[in-house]
A and B are shown apart, each in its own frame.
Chain A
Amino acid sequence: MSALREPTTDGAEREGRRRPGRPGGRSGGGGARRPGGLGAPAGVLAVASAVALAVAALVTAHLLVGRSEVPAREVLRALTGGSGEPAYDLIVLRFRLPRVLVGLGAGALLALSGVLVQSVVRNPLAEPATTGIGAGAALAVVVSLVLVPGHGATYAVALGGALLAGLLLWLLGRRSLAVTGILLGAVLSALTSMVLVVDSQPMGTVLRWLVGSLNARTSGDWAALWPWLLVLPLLGWLLAPVMNVLALGDVATTTLGLRPALARGAVLAVAVAAAAAAIAAAGAVAFVGLVAPHVARLLVGSDHRLLVPVATALGALLLSTSDLLAFAVSLDLPLGGRSVAGVPVGAVTALLGAPLLVRLVRQERR
């Protein structure tokens, strides 16, 4: 398709376009003049409006679907400042709206973290859920619940654990971040299990961080998440040129006047913060941070200035759609009465994501 769009049919150029993000593949994008598959302003506008439309549709669906019947008119009235029915207000504002917002936000942050992690690791198969950050959050929550049973500050503890795991990853991962992350995750999960064997009481609470779930998110979770959404995507986007340079390799980075270690440290710091904020809210949902950047790369090429916003938007849509699916499935589940917990969104992304991953990886190699 690039041959149609561009007069240059240079083989290496096209080869690089289809193999984004590979070290030594090609420069990380051709700048604003050649932003990959889409023409610049019109394409951006089209993508932005498509995303906005999809978000609106998702929010509407989330607000209308639920265990109790709430008419559309009542939903609208609750949103615009109070209806006559306090029960509707409660359902819409305290449960349904926070759930969809947390889903969108956590998905966006996971995908953002995915792009950044893949840039640092220089491997398009890395993802935040397999870096040990989620395992760190789970371990911190389990330990804190064993020491202080029934405390309410799980978000803060999970965030702290996730950030600590990220720090550990940076300290240990001098040689290979990808392998270190996987092994760190294995060790932290083993320690979590050891604590749970001794005291199984935090089990119910910690399931959320083990698999990733958006069930029973309230406005408190959203309040803890949104400040991150203001800062981190912006930081990620500001780092996009740095990531474009990093994709050229360490030698080129140094030649262009950047210190590779420093640049990579900055990108990793934002990646860890984004993953930690998302995982503390929704648990270590697998595949969102992996699939969203891949789809984004197929859509807009490997220029990080476009890749970061597009992947972030796609991640939000992906997680929230999966959550809607998970919720719809749990409504029809025969287990209904016994287990109100519902299908966790992590199970849905796992089922959808694994075959999608196989397909994407094969497609990119071709």
Chain B
Amino acid sequence: MITIPKWTDGPVPRTTTARRRPPSRALPRAVALTVALLALVGVAALSLGEPTLGPVRALGALLDAGDPAHVVVADVRLPRALLGAGCGAALAVSGLLLQDSLRNPVAGPELLGVSAGAAVVMTAVVVLGLQVPLALAPYAALLGALVAGAMVLLAIGATRDPEHVLLVGAAVSAAGAGLVVALVGLGTEGDVVLLFRYLLGSLAARGWPHLEAVAPWIGLGLLAAALLRSRVATLALGDEVATGLGVPVVRTRVLALVVAALLAAASAAVCGPVAYVALLAPHVARRLVGTGTRRTFWVAPLVGAALLVAADLVCRLVLYPVEVPVGVATTLVGVPALLLALAGRRGR
């Protein structure tokens, strides 16, 4: 006589997904919230600085070419804010793809060496005076990003222990940072501006040409990520489940990694490896709408964009007239937040 234990006998294991998923109205609400936040930060980025304009005046100057403040708003602040938003969105989606496809909460381009690899190549291009046109810079950055990322992924292999990933990524990133410092020190007798652009990331002195160079890459990457998002969501359930659902696991993971590297490289090509935005934005998005790549995909880029534009604004103003590299601000905010995220995960 075979007795089949009744499924409801014991306490039903409540998965974290089930517990943390808010009602379905959360998604539109979160999107509206983040869009409003981004708009607010964007207007602030257009109006604050030297000269400080009122928000109405700033928006007016943007449209009215005869206004004396038009140049400042339309040619300096607007491209910079748009670039910040674009790179923030790209980094956030890059982090989201890495975290969900590797099922690792601390995966991010800065901790997988991807950002460092891109930075090394870009530094070499600038310092050694290689003649690479601005439009081709993302290709070069992508090459470095893929090499460094592949190295870290090869070393960590199948393990999902976040500590392991962090340690290998940190070692490769440290090596990348060392190479950047060495290149800058060798070529230019310590050009601080250059060092910070490629070591920490900075949005200083970026204009329309930079935006034009990188926009197609970010657009392409976001589009690819949008196409991949439901497959990556299946991957987050586990390899067996994903295989059972007919998703080719290895191919999807490699695709997701390449797209993530592309997005991170595009951003690193123009503003350097801005740390911790990619790591943080997906976590914030999950807080807002719960886990699941399909849902977080719509929120994470908005969060990342708002985060980077806000951080850039703070860096522009806090030590005026000196600009702090934006990577400093994102690191100082991102590290405690990451610690919280890890502590919360371990506590569960």
Contacts and interface: CB of A to CB of B under 8 A. Distances in A.
- Do A and B interact with each other, yes or no? yes
Interface of A: 123, 125-127, 129-130, 175-176, 178-179, 182-183, 185-187, 189-191, 193-194, 196-198, 200, 203-204, 207, 210-212, 284, 286-287, 290, 333, 335, 338-339, 341, 343-344, 346-347, 349-351, 353-355, 357-358, 361-362, 365
A178 B167 contact: yes
A41 to B, nearest CB: 36
Contacts of B338: 183
B181 A211 contact: yes
B171 A123 contact: no
Given A193-B200, A343-B186, A365-B157, A186 B166 contact: no
Given A211-B185, A341-B185, A198 B171 contact: no
The majority secondary structure among interface residues of chain A is helix
Given A197-B319, A339-B186, A362-B154, A346 B167 contact: no
A74 B302 CA distance: 69
The majority secondary structure among interface residues of chain B is helix
Contacts, number: 149
B324 interface: yes
B248 interface: no
B186 A354 contact: no
B186 A198 contact: no
Interface in B4-35: none
B125 interface: no
A354 B175 contact: yes
A50 B339 CA distance: 45
A190 B322 contact: no
Interface string B161-189: 01110111011101111110111011101
Given A207-B181, A347-B178, A362-B157, A357 B171 contact: yes
Nearest to A291: B171
B179 A178 contact: no
Interface residues of B, number: 49
A337 B174 CA distance: 29
A349 B163 CA distance: 23
A168 to B, nearest CB: 13
Contacts of B186: 333, 335, 339, 341, 343
A343 B175 contact: no
A350 B178 contact: yes
A197 B192 contact: yes
Nearest to B191: A203
A203 B181 CA distance: 11
30 contacts: A125-B167, A125-B171, A176-B163, A179-B163, A179-B342, A183-B338, A186-B331, A186-B335, A193-B199, A193-B325, A197-B192, A197-B323, A197-B328, A210-B178, A211-B182, A211-B185, A212-B178, A286-B178, A287-B175, A343-B182, A343-B186, A344-B178, A344-B185, A346-B182, A347-B183, A354-B172, A355-B151, A361-B157, A361-B168, A362-B157
A196 B194 CA distance: 13
B343 to A, nearest CB: 7
A362 B155 contact: yes
Given A123-B164, A175-B346, A286 B175 contact: yes
A239 B190 CA distance: 42
A182 B175 CA distance: 14
Given A190-B328, A194-B324, A344-B185, A354 B346 contact: no
Given A176-B342, A191-B328, A196-B196, 9 more contacts: A179-B163, A193-B196, A197-B323, A204-B189, A207-B190, A286-B175, A335-B187, A349-B175, A358-B151
A344 B332 contact: no
B178 to A, nearest CB: 4
A69 B322 CA distance: 47
Nearest to A202: B190
Contacts of A178: 163, 166-167
A194 B328 contact: yes
A349 B339 CA distance: 30
Given A197-B322, A211-B185, A365-B157, A125 B328 contact: no
